[in-house]
């Protein structure tokens, strides 16, 4: 069982949140051990003052080194393990699910919450504190970030949630956003639950969930498709897109080449082609494409290929053109053309 100690100026604030809901039940059941410590208890003066003016001037006060050091030293004496010290700071590594999983495997953590203008740098150096941020913005203090980190870690502890499925299929855990969720009633404001979810066919539901999670990620957070997974490999390195045209399905590159080389275009095709030109211009010269061509594109720079396709997908939806996407780690073809950004496989 992991032990988490939070050093803060506002222990009651932290206790209030950590005593409720899933984390609170996990603490009561003994699945996670969390303690909140008041840094003011180590102030060493009758006014419990723990801050002072910053050397070099400027507005705001800086938390002093000694009370923080004494607080964390006392916490370490209570623990049998050698805890990692985490300082919640906008200058730190941005928190991700991978970092959460890493920290959740520790035996003991001490989380330091700064306040005012921050803390004296010397105590961070003395404690060898790791800095972690919850995003590129500034908050009043480190308490909310500490609660976010503690909550995320608590969820991964054995017994806190009913089973591993309760967190392993959620957004970010496996590198994708989660599929949409629905509950009763089946129809609400003329919006129906997807029919496949009502069938009870487990394989079909699982397939829908997987495909929808991939599409949601592509639409909302395409950068995540290139986040690192096990063994440091990206989730989806290759992509190909198909569009229907005159009762057939064309590879998107073949479709673009086909209408590009036609001498007479309808007004609709001219508009589509004009919107597609930036995509065409960014691609290496593809091979001659037949109606049954199936072309994989590989992005050499992570995320670049989806950045390129995003406006194309928007355009296809705008014109009411359905499209189908396939992703793969390995293409079923050979490289036939490339430029500085892409390789074409056919």
Which residues are annotated binding-site positions for S-adenosyl-L-methionine?
114, 134-139
Is pTM, for the whole model, over 0.85?
no
Q: Tens of pLDDT along 86-127?
A: 999 999 999 988 899 999 999 999 999 999 889 999 999 999
Q: How far apart are CA 228 and CA 70, in angstroms?
A: 39
Closest CA to 103 of 76, 132, 123, 75: 132
**% pLDDT > 70, the chain:** 66
Closest CA to 72 of 7, 123, 2, 142: 7
Instruction: Give Dmax over CA atoms of the chain in angstroms.
Output: 88
Structure tokens at 176: 């994708």
Which residues are annotated binding-site positions?
114, 134-139
* In contact, 341 and 291? CB cutoff 8 Å: no
Q: Tens of pLDDT along 153-175?
A: 999 999 999 776 555 555 555 66
Structure tokens at 2: 């992991």
The residues spanned by each domain of the chain are 3-165, 170-220, 236-345
Kind and range of the H or E run holding 243: strand 238-245
Question: Considering only the top CATH level, what class is 170-220?
Answer: mainly alpha
The confidence score (pLDDT) of residue 344 equals 67
Question: Considering only the top CATH level, what class is 3-165?
Answer: alpha beta
Answer yes or no: same fold for 3-165 and 170-220. Answer: no
Q: How far apart are CA 72 and CA 75, in angstroms?
A: 5
At residue 82 the predicted structure's pLDDT band, cuts being 50, 70 and 90, is very high
Q: Taking CA 89 as the corner, what is the angle to CA 88 and CA 95, rounded to the nearest 5 degrees?
A: 70
Q: How far apart are CA 156 and CA 174, in angstroms?
A: 13
* In contact, 337 and 344? CB cutoff 8 Å: yes
Q: What is the DSSP string of 102-133?
A: HHHT-SEEEEEEPBTT-B-HHHHHHHT-EEEE
């Amino acid at each position: 069982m992991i032990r988490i100690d939070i050093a803060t100026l506002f222990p009651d604030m932290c206790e209030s949140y950590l005593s409720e809901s899933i984390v609170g039940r996990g603490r009561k059941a003994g699945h996670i051990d969390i303690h909140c410590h008041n840094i003011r208890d180590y102030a060493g003066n009758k006014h419990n003052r723990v801050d002072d003016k910053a050397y070099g001037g400027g507005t705001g006060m800086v938390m002093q080194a000694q009370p923080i050091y004494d607080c964390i030293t006392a916490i370490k004496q209570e623990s049998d393990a050698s805890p990692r010290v985490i300082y919640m700071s906008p200058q730190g590594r941005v928190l991700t699910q991978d970092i959460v999983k890493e920290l959740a495997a520790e035996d003991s953590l001490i989380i330091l919450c700064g306040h005012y203008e921050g803390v004296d740098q010397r105590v961070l150096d003395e404690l060898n504190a790791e800095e972690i941020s919850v995003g590129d913005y500034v908050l009043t203090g480190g308490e909310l970030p500490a609660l976010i980190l503690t909550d995320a870690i608590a969820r991964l502890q054995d017994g806190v949630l009913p089973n591993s499925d309760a967190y392993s299929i959620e957004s970010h855990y496996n590198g994708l956003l989660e599929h949409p969720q629905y509950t009763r009633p089946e129809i609400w404001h003329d919006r129906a639950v997807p029919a496949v979810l009502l069938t009870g066919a487990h394989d079909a539901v699982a397939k829908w969930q997987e495909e929808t999670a991939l599409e949601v990620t592509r639409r909302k957070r395409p950068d995540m498709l290139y986040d690192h997974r096990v063994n440091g490999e990206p989730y989806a390195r290759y992509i190909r897109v198909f569009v229907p045209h005159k009762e057939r399905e064309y590879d998107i590159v073949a479709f673009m080449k086909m209408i590009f080389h036609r001498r007479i275009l309808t007004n609709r095709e001219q508009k589509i082609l004009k919107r597609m030109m930036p995509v065409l211009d960014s691609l290496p010269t593809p091979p001659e494409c037949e109606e049954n061509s199936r072309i994989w594109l590989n992005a050499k720079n992570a995320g670049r290929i989806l950045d390129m396709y995003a406006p194309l997908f928007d355009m296809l939806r705008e014109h009411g053109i359905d499209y189908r996407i396939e992703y793969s780690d390995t293409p079923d073809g050979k490289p036939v053309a490339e430029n500085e950004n892409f390789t074409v496989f056919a």
